[in-house]
Amino acid sequence: MTDYNNADDAPASLDFDTLAVRAGTQRSHHGEHSEALYLTSSFVFNNAAEAARRFCGEEEGMIYSRFTNPTVDMLQVRLAALEGGEACVATATGMAAILATCMGLLKSGDHIIASRGLFGSTQTFFNAYMAKFGVETTFVSATDLAEYEAAVRPTTKLVFVETPSNPLTQLVDIAAVSAIARKAGAWLAVDNCFCTPALQKPLELGADLVIHSATKYLDGQGRVMGGAVVGSKAMLEEVYKFLRTAGPSISPFNAWVILKGVETLRIRMEAQSASALAVAQWLEAQPAVERVFYPGLPSHPQHALALKQQKSGGAIVAFEVKGEGREGAWRVVDSTRMLSITANLGDTRSTITHPATTTHGRITAEARAAAGIRDNLLRLAIGLESVEDIKADLARGLK
């Protein structure tokens, strides 16, 4: 049995595609080919002395599934291998990964610098809950390096970014921000939800931690919730200690589903990304479309950075419908017959959402304007359906 976060048995020399299907696999004495699903809350010991050795950490092995579980173990080893990190801790959700990271590594009095436009719950978590326990957050423009530098305080401990951002696909220059964080003596955490390691490897670009909502592309089929943190063994030990004590642990069932999802991650990401580029190019040519936001388009202000930092543009496309109001945007949404009207993303099914009245509906109009989210903006998360069918579904409302 391997350690809860032991990625040593995933040889670094193997290719991404091989690691995605094989890294972390532990076979039981039955010799099952597919990974076994260990649905058990606890594990039994042969005798009292063995139980005592396990509990005091003298002997490796499973105790209780809030701490460790073989199926969860396999997922952790696989994700660490794919991100190129030493260790991984899987969590109940993406938000639980962010919670465990902050609780494990920060203390009252510490300061966070975060890029503006983070996932809504992440912003709320920093503003409402970390602040309540004495950890303050300064939000800076995702793309302005001078703002990160100016925000540094002697107490700055963590820089937290998300790239590309949702929904406007702004990119954070990971290598440049990691240099600023290093100089400040702070860690850089990158929420790699939108690109996944199939398209972007933040640790190779200088990040200390990678955060995942496995609910999105890692599962990739909209079935289960999950999250993960990847980084050095020393840092992950602190995250793990919080997790095993406080309990936002992932269900072995969800870990198993995500393990199987990860096997097809690169193929899905490349296909969805290629379709997203085709849809973005087509949208740019539509007279009823004012502007398209997609890092894979030469018109994207950070296209050069996208080419350097990401393997492709990803599967999220945002666009503005001509005319200021939400009327035109809502007409596009309501004219679709196939696209799912939902704020979720990372599925094989394409989704469409109107950010100003859904994901960003509860912030003030001023805050929305400052974030660049206009009433005529729509966000697409492109799935695996035919590009022609996706275009036809959008064309109806763009007439």
Ligand X SMILES: *Cc1c(COP(=O)(O)O)cnc(C)c1O
| Contacting residues toward ligand X, per CB under 6 A | 93-95, 119, 121-122, 162, 166, 191, 193, 213, 215-216, 225, 227
Nearer to ligand X, 126 or 321 (CB): 126
Is 154 buried (19+), middle (13-18) or exposed (0-12) by CB count in 10 A? exposed
> CB atoms < 10 A from the CB of 108, how many?
8
Nearer to ligand X, 160 or 397 (CB): 160
Q: C-beta of 141: minimal distance to ligand X in Å?
A: 18
Q: C-beta of 279: minimal distance to ligand X in Å?
A: 20
Nearer to ligand X, 24 or 94 (CB): 94
Nearer to ligand X, 54 or 116 (CB): 116
Give the CA distances from residue 9 to residues 15, 68, 74, 357, in Å, rounded to whole numbers and listed in that order.
14, 18, 11, 47
In angstroms, rounded to a whole number, what is the distance separating the alpha carbons of residues 309 and 304?
A: 9
Q: C-beta of 122: minimal distance to ligand X in Å?
A: 6
Residue nearest to ligand X (CB): 94
In angstroms, rounded to a whole number, what is the distance separating the alpha carbons of residues 90 and 63?
A: 17
Helix (H) or strand (E) holding 317: strand 316-321
Nearer to ligand X, 141 or 155 (CB): 141
Q: C-beta of 318: minimal distance to ligand X in Å?
A: 14
Nearer to ligand X, 122 or 251 (CB): 122
In angstroms, rounded to a whole number, what is the distance separating the alpha carbons of residues 342 and 21?
A: 30
In angstroms, rounded to a whole number, what is the distance separating the alpha carbons of residues 45 and 48?
A: 7
Sheet containing 209-213: order of strands: 87-91, 227-231, 209-213, 187-191, 156-162, 111-115, 136-140
Measured at the alpha carbon of residue 107, what is the angle toward residues 65 and 201, in degrees to the nearest 5?
A: 65
Specify whether the CB–CB gap between 149 and 182 falls below 8 A.
no
Beta strands per DSSP E along 124-273: 136-140, 156-162, 187-191, 209-213, 227-231
Q: C-beta of 253: minimal distance to ligand X in Å?
A: 15
Q: C-beta of 97: minimal distance to ligand X in Å?
A: 8
Q: C-beta of 215: minimal distance to ligand X in Å?
A: 4
Nearer to ligand X, 35 or 191 (CB): 191
